[in-house]
Amino acid sequence: NEKFAAVLFMYSVTDKGSFEAVRKYLSAMACDYNKFSKLAIILVANKSDLVRSRVVSTNEGKFLAEAFQIKYIETSAEINHNINELLVGIGKQIKLKQEQQMLLASNETLRSCSFSSSSSLAHQNATLVKRKHSSFAQKMLQKLLGKSKRKSCDNLFVP
């Protein structure tokens, strides 16, 4: 049983130390990729309303998110900026990750299935069905994993 489905890494755009701490946590997490690959992970830059006090740029945040292939959003809890988008985005990212995992599992099942048939025709039919399902699963995986097109790190509504 999974205890959680998403992880938010939040830092203050007015505190470089909090940003560096998040960078260290992400680096440590990357060492155990298999454990975290099933989770929706979002980098949250908070206090975006404090423009004059800002010490971490939007580009730095996006660069970090892209480096770890996670999502990125800027928020301000003080003025309620992007809070609803973050909450809805968390749900969407969890759903997308779950769909991604189901497709991966489905594709693995199709690959590992061994068809035992008493006749050559039954074997050919089973192989044809397997290929059709496998082709469909591969196309869906490419869409979900973004292999056909690179997705933006700051769009929480796409994989």
Mind listing the pLDDT tens digit for each residue in 29-87?
A: 888 877 788 899 999 999 999 999 999 999 999 999 999 999 999 999 999 999 999 99
pTM score of the predicted model: 0.70
- Per-residue model confidence as pLDDT tens digits over 113-125: 644 444 555 555 5
Domains of the chain, CATH where assigned: 6-145 (3.40.50.300)
Here the contacts of 54-59 (C-beta below 8 Å, separation 24 or greater) are: 54/13, 54/14, 55/13, 55/14, 55/15, 55/16, 56/11, 56/12, 56/13, 56/14, 56/15, 56/16, 56/19
